[in-house]
Structure 1
Amino acid sequence: MNLIQGHLENVISKLMDSEERLKQAIETGHMGTWSINPETYEVTISGFIKEMFGFPLDENVSMEKIMNAIHPEYHQMLTTVLSNAIAKGESSDTEYSITNQQTGETKWVRATGRVFSTADGKPMEYSGLFMDITERKLDDLRKNDFIGMVSHELKTPLTTLSAYIQMLRGRAQNNADDFTNNALDKVGAQVKKMTGMINAFLNVSRLDSGKIQLEKQEFVLNLLLEEMIQEARVTTAHHTITLLPGEQISIVADRDKIGSVVSNLLSNSIKYSPRGNIIEVECKTEGRKVVVSVRDEGMGIKPEHLDRLFDRFYRVETKHTQHISGFGIGLYLSGEIIQRHDGKIWAESEIGKGSTFYFSLPLE
């Protein structure tokens, strides 16, 4: 009996020693640990996290006190992540800003976590790591400020150029100069393309710096889809774009930004599908959410690219796409807009048969 007890004490001692070493390694790497009780929502955080928030090291910190230190624009997102993690067992990976309660300084942090369950599947603990990413975020903000400044500077000459194109086009039409008219049309198309790219860079800069705010209103989603389809039809004479019949669905969201998401998906379908192909748009409800899909009969996307389509500046580079212009910004912006609506965006595809892009939004 004494032998067993001695063995157990030795095992426990080694486990405690390993735990202490792991804790030291985590804190040396400017990280902390946290855990939440799924039933009581009682929070346990390490000393590193308390220092980040500016809480006394000997204080038992409540969930309410932590939320008060997190900037308000992230409250809804974090509440949704927490409820989904506990209810559905989803892993989480979030970034948000906080205010140090002692110094008033703003810090950027990243928190990753997962739910640990009992043998019968009951959530037992929601825990993970907490990292200080302030320096990286500040670098990103400086970079985005530079992009925004350069983009603004580039827009001014393009606006002037567009005005001169309009003036010259009027003269050419009066003189029935078909060659000049055709040349100006081509120049105008390139100016329009460049303006679109600059606006996309500006939107990335505004999005990352938190200057893009959602202006939610109630509207009929089907009508917005029809508007975007009408605009897309003007840009192509070789595609048939249709909205499949369905029930009228009203949602509360930022109409202009959801419109830009639909416009981007339609533009991609046009660019990446052969001439004369059908593009179908569908809108339907699934439980407490609405799902929009844009299906084309294009070249398709390999499975290894699907998970990265919504990364910033990511493009699928193949011999079939080399001639297609773009910087990999549109899908990134679309993904960010949908995420800020507490929605989801994804794609399904098969090489040679086409792709379908989906996004879902909650019905309030």
Structure 2
Amino acid sequence: MSWSQPPLPEDSYDHMSTLIGSAITLLRGESGVFAVSNEAFDPQSSAEYTLYHLSEEALPALLSYVQEAMQPNVQHPLVVETLPPALAARFGIAQEAAEQQGVECCSLALYDQNGSLGTLYFLRLATLRSCFEDHGAESAGTRTDETLLHFIAQLTAGLRFALRSQALVKEQGRLAAIFQHSTEGILTVDNALRIIDFNPAMERLTGWRENEVLGRFYFKVLRPQDRQGNDLRLEESPILQAFAGQEVVNREMVICARDGQRFTVAVTASCVRNARGETMNGILNVRDLTRERQQEEQRSTFISVISHELQTPIAIIKGYASTLARTDSRLDARALRLRLVAIEEEADRLNKLVGNLLYASRIQAHGLQMDIASLDLEHLIRKMIRRLHAKAPDVEVSLSFPPQLPTVMADQERIEEVIQNLLDNAVKYSPGKPHIDVACFATGEEVIVSVSDHGMGISVREQEQIFNRFHRVGEPLAQPTPGAGLGLYICRAIVEAHGGRIWVESTLRQGSTFLFSLPREEKAQLPMVVF
């Protein structure tokens, strides 16, 4: 006889497949499928199947056949039916074996005191019988029935355990996915308040990495304070209060990031207890309120910021224009020129602000047009540095270029805007005499430009938001500086439209480095390696 032997599925070596394969072998079967009852665990779920030496193509035909056949039940747990040779061939059985010896389709109901678990369908030669169906003795009927029932009970118990294990693994996977992808910070502690889990959102929120805080007392990591800025006492710990049975939901407090910056959060604490009611773990959900409040403040202050930025040049232009328009004005040529230059500068400032607003609107409407051509970045940057020195001679600039910097594919006018904006920011946010470092370097795929300053720096948390529309650095030193918070947003849109990327590397009060990349005109010729 020749049976088809398709490869076992990938999960055939787990506990479930081992049990099914062993059971079919004991029943003298060669192939089969175990169909889990929908009601076994979740009435809403579809049936699950575990195959043993049965191809996926044969499964629909077998299931269709057994659905029309008599189904096993508690009174008749084993149902045996002879298959027509043509149908047996569809299940991968050689026609000669099916005609000479016959093939049976057997259905075995699996159940216990908890109810039905499913049905085991298997195929075997009609000339074979398992030890559970040996009727050699007169009293064997009763003995065999009891043996079959014991076999069903043992198999059902093993499969139910395997299914529960699989369900636990799936649930663990779902919980792990929720933990990893949650937008809220989550940390868990043991009963000694030592950190045992620290999700990625918590890492982004605090600047700490999980491997740096595992095993540490969570109170010392977060250094919480109340809204008035007073350090919380240990007995005021949210998790300790949850351990004591108190409800801690959306409690506002201030926590400290790795770089020392403090920000307001809402925390919810809960605890996990064992069967005896003893505390095992504490869970702290942390939601950053700073961003929500920043968004509200951005909405409420946007008009006032824009109004201020518009009113200042308008007021200066109007003041100088009124002075020049007076009939009794007696100004020499130098004084007249200074006022006209001031009017021109403020008009340029006003034009730039309105242009940025329109630019941002076009970006939102996906209306950014590019004129892409070959561009020599070194030549462009040197030209812009000369322009910067003409306008601000006291700014020190260090340049670093590799020999034969590759050309890039870019829109020259747009890239000028990006570099100009980064240079302006480096000067604007560097108190005292500014010193700027501009460098370029190439990789196999792109050219990277960096603009570094030695100014106030940017906190870890704000580095994620600094390229958003209307966002301005929250450091007090930054508040007097003019601007509507659109420059870096426009830079990001331009660079990404070129297929590049832009990012910042910064340490608070030690300076910042802004970097952006552009695709090379010609990719680097990598050396050929011959094995």
Which TM-score band applies after superposition, normalised by the shorter structure? 0.5 to 0.7
Q: Distance in 1 between matches of 2:519 and 2:435?
A: 28
- Say which of 239, 251, 261 aligns to 2:395: 239
Of 493, 514, 527, the residue aligned with 1:357 is 514
Aligned to 1:325: 482
Verify the 8 A CA contact 2:468 2:489 in the aligned structure 1.
yes
The 3-state SS of whatever aligns with 2:439 is strand
- Percent of aligned pairs with the same residue? 30
The CA RMSD measured in Å over matched residues stands at 3.9
Aligned counterpart, 2:341:
185
Larger helix share, 1 or 2? 1
Number of residue pairs aligned between Structure 1 and Structure 2: 229
1:6 and 2:160 are equivalent in the alignment: yes
Are residue 309 (structure 1) and residue 466 (structure 2) matched? yes
Residue 361 (structure 2) aligns with: 205
Of residues 268-277 and 195-204 in structure 1, the stretch that sits farther from structure 2 once superposed is 268-277
Note the alpha carbon deviations across 1:300-353, whole angstroms, 9 max, x for none. 222222121111111112221121011110101101111122211111122333
User: How far 1:13 sits from its partner (Å)?
Assistant: 8.2
Q: State the distance in 1 between where 2:430 and 2:385 align.
A: 16
**1:38-97 per-position Cα deviation (integer Å, ceiling 9, x unaligned):** xxxxxxxxxxxxxxxxxxxxxxxxxxxxxxxxxxxxxxxxxxxxxxxxxxxxxxxxxxxx
With over 3 angstroms needed to count, the CA separation of the structure-2 counterparts of 1:229 and 1:17, relative to structure 1, is: closer
Of structures 1 and 2, the one scoring higher in RCO (CA 8 A, sep 6+) is: 1
| Deviation of 1:362 (Å) | 2.3
TM-score between both structures, scaled by the size of structure 1: 0.54
Q: Distance in 2 between matches of 1:176 and 1:342?
A: 54
- The CA distance in 1 between the partners of 2:438 and 2:169, in whole Å, is 57
Following TM superposition, by how much is the alpha carbon of 1:213 offset from its aligned partner in structure 2, in angstroms?
1.7
Name the aligned partner's letter for residue 330 of structure 1. Answer: G
Which structure would you say has the larger Rg? 2
In structure 2, the partner of 1:255 is 412
Contact 2:504 2:514 in 1 (8 A): yes
What CA distance in whole angstroms lies between the structure 2 residues aligned with 1:361 and 1:272? 25
Q: Which runs of 5+ in 1 are unaligned?
A: 20-146
Q: Which runs of 5+ in 2 are unaligned?
A: 1-153, 174-302, 522-531
**Mapped pair 1:269 → 2:423:** no
Kept in 2: contact 1:300–1:354 (CA 8 A): yes
Which amino acid is 1:324 matched to?
T
1:222 aligned residue: 378
Per-residue CA shift, 1:77-134, capped at 9, x if unaligned? Answer: xxxxxxxxxxxxxxxxxxxxxxxxxxxxxxxxxxxxxxxxxxxxxxxxxxxxxxxxxx
What residue number does 2:438 align with? 281
What do residues 110-166 of structure 1 show as CA deviations (whole Å, max 9, x unaligned)?
Answer: xxxxxxxxxxxxxxxxxxxxxxxxxxxxxxxxxxxxx9xx9xxx9xx98xx79x97x
Q: Is the 8 A contact 2:447 2:518 kept in 1?
A: yes
Cα distance in 2 for residues equivalent to 1:353 and 1:6: 61
- In structure 2, the residue matched to 1:47 is none
- When residues 300 and 13 of structure 1 are mapped into structure 2, their CA distance, relative to the original with a 3 A threshold, is closer
Alpha-carbon distance, 1:212 to partner:
1.1
- The answer on 1:348 being equivalent to 2:505 is yes
CA gap of 1:15–1:292, structure 2 versus 1, over 3 A, is closer
Structure 2 vs 1, CA of residues 18 and 216 (structure 1 numbering), >3 Å: closer, same or farther?
A: same
The amino acid across from 2:348 in the alignment is K
What TM-score comes out, normalization by structure 2 length? 0.38
Q: Distance in 1 between matches of 2:163 and 2:507?
A: 58
The whole-number CA distance in structure 2 between the counterparts of 1:297 and 1:11 is 57
Deviation at 1:294, TM superposition (A): 0.7
